[in-house]
Structure 1
Amino acid sequence: MITILTATYNRENTLPRLFNSLRAQTSMNFEWVVVDDGSCDGSLELLNEYSHLAGFDVRIISQVNSGKHIALNKGVTYARGSWVLVVDSDDALVPVAIEVITGALPPENSSVVGLCYRKAYFDMRLVGEKIKSDNLPLVLAPTEAGHLFKGDLAYLFKTACFLKYPFPVFSGEKFVPELYIWNQIADEGAVWFFSETILYLCDYLEDGYSKNFSSNLRKNPNGFLVFYWAQINRESNPLYKAKYLIRSAQCYFYMLLKRLS
């Protein structure tokens, strides 16, 4: 079974889209674990209603508003599936997503620790670059994949590996880049990238993390710093190393400002 893991905060307006996409799946070999991160709209009430309407197992966990990364840390501990797919509360899956994933899963004793698929906007425009691979999976590290595809990707990881590498927690901060953990999980084994298969539909909302990078960096310098230092060691291109050194300096600057405020 696959665990779909969603962290949500004040997404009453987009949760119906995600829920309907789960109900439309051609395979019901999944559960939905939702962590409500202290929403103050009607999200929690809506989720409780969905738990009675769904034709699949839905479990809802609540926490004080702490950030998506802490919600994911908590949610994965409730996962009953052998694999975890993170799906944001403002996104959705295509109807065959679970069926396709289930058919591609490696044997239980395989060294493969993750599968990765493409994202598209809701009008089916591909996110990132179009990459031909003759429908065969590529084996890449997530950092390499980011440079190749130049866009967000949908990762599915073994639950045991997800549990082994929780997101770090910093007092007063609510964000750590997911790539920091995806890279650590990928160090455990191979990740298969299906470069021509779109399974995940997304939108970039005005109040989302993607559109508010500068603000997130100022508010979460420790979370970004741990990621940037790790990336300096992972990157082979000197330009990328220089980029992350500059970003690290920004983090130190924002950390200093926080101490002085």
Structure 2
Amino acid sequence: MNSPKITVVTPTYNRAHTITRTYESLKQQSFKDFKWIIMDDGSTDGTKELVELFKNENIIDIDYFWNENQHKFITVFEGIKKVTSPYFMILDSDDTYPKNSMEILVEESDKIQNQEDYIGIIGHSADENGQIVGDKFPIEFDGSIFDMRYKYKVRGDKNGIFFTKTYHRYLDKFDYEKYKGKGYIPQTVFFNIYDSEGIKTRFINKIVRNYHFDEDDQQSVSNTRWTGKNTYGLMEGYRSFLNCYHKQLKNYPSTLIRNLVGYQTYSLINNKNLSEINNGITNFKVLSTLIFPLTLIYKKRKNV
């Protein structure tokens, strides 16, 4: 069988109650040249049996992998390593795609000739009422996620498609094994690396994902990532941001201070002292020392 043009990678953990709507949205795609890799992170709720029913319908080419629980951060990368198609997308097991999502993203991707300089295409997510989550891009542009967030001040959960060769080039050098057993880790720990090095993203003002916020779903990372067991990942997220974007942050002092305070706060929660905190960052050590008393006050007032 020839390799498809797109692979959809879906990490899942005890989402038998939501993954059917994900499957239904994939069946309805106008673009059909794709396969679906489901990375089951140790589900015990009948997900495997449900996926067997999907496979028996023989509508979508599905590869299913079950592993002992190792959290989403690791599971996603294990799935991406299995991708052989030119493009891939990451779709959570509780979200869906609009019917023309893949068609839009493939058409936009094929326009880019020098794909080795790009990581992919990013568009918008919409909520269940069809409204864009966060902000539209003031212009469609080629640039960095950092630019999107801090130059154009765009907020909200975005989504899109990745170029496999470029992504693998960075993933092959990234040691994610050290995060095993550490709980929630933000994907930005990896994204920050290529984004800060000048690998471009194309940003388009089109809706390419439907975001479902299940407030009662206790398995949802959106509902659990800010809890105490995930503070190590929050510390790592701030640390990665400071270390990767140190050149860009010199032009954004308020962003620099805010992220330093965040890094110090979650480092303190993880029982790090000032020396250990400063050893974790490659720049801004003097500034870190100067603002440390302010962080102590902030932490006390916030009672975190």
Normalised by the shorter chain, which TM-score bucket?
0.7 to 0.9
The answer to which of 180-189 and 56-65 deviates more is: 180-189
Q: Deviations over 1:36-75 (max 9, x none)?
A: 0111112121112212224231111111111101111110
Distance 1:190 1:243 in 2: 25
Which of these residues, 191, 194, 199, is aligned with residue 182 of structure 1?
191
1:225 corresponds to: 235
**Farther off after superposition, 11-20 or 243-252:** 243-252
CA distance 1:98–1:183, shift in 2 (3 Å): same
TM-score between the two structures when normalised by the length of structure 1? 0.88
- TM-score of the superposition, structure 2-length normalised? 0.76
Contact map agreement 1:69 1:167 (CA 8 A) in 2 = no
| Structure 2 CA distance for aligned equivalents of residues 199 and 171 of structure 1 | 31
TM-superposed CA distance for 1:171, in Å, is 4.4
Any residues of structure 2 matched to 1:200-211 within 5 Å, and which?
200-206=209-215, 207=218, 208-211=220-223
Cα distance in 2 for partners of 1:119, 1:256 equals 37
AA at the equivalent of 1:113: I
Kept in 2, the 8 Å contact 1:117–1:154? The answer is yes
The answer to whether residue 162 in structure 2 is matched with residue 157 in structure 1 is yes
1:109 Cα shift? Answer: 5.1
Bigger shift: 233-242 or 113-122? Answer: 233-242
Q: Which range is displaced more, 182-191 or 151-160?
A: 182-191
Distance 2:66 2:41 in 1: 6
**Residue 271 of structure 2 aligns to a residue in which SS?**
helix
* Higher percent of residues as strand: 1
Name the CA distance, whole Å, in 2 between partners of 1:57 and 1:107: 28
Asked if 1:255 is matched to 2:260, the reply is no
Q: Which has the higher contact order (CA 8 A, sep 6+)?
A: 1
- What is the Cα-based RMSD across aligned positions, in Å? 2.1
CA, structure 1 residues 254+167, in 2 after alignment: closer, same or farther (shift >3 Å)?
farther
- The answer to whether the 8 Å contact 2:160/2:208 transfers is no
Structure 1 CA distance, aligned partners of 2:266 and 2:163?
Answer: 32
Deviation digits for residues 71-128 of structure 1 (CA, Å, limit 9, x no counterpart) = 1111012112112211111100000111111111123655222110100012201100
* Residue in structure 1 matching 2:226, options 178, 189, 214: 214
Is the aligned partner of 1:75 residue 2:84? no
Tell me how far apart the structure 1 counterparts of residues 256 and 130 of structure 2 sit (CA, whole Å).
34
1:242 to 225, 243, 257: 257
Larger radius of gyration: 2
Between the two proteins, what is the percent identity of the paired residues?
Answer: 22
| Partner in structure 2 of residue 66 of structure 1 | 70
8 Å contact 1:4–1:33 — kept in the other structure? yes
For residue 125 of structure 2, the aligned residue among 119, 139, 157 is: 119
Give the conservation status (yes or no) of the 8 Å contact 1:51–1:57: yes
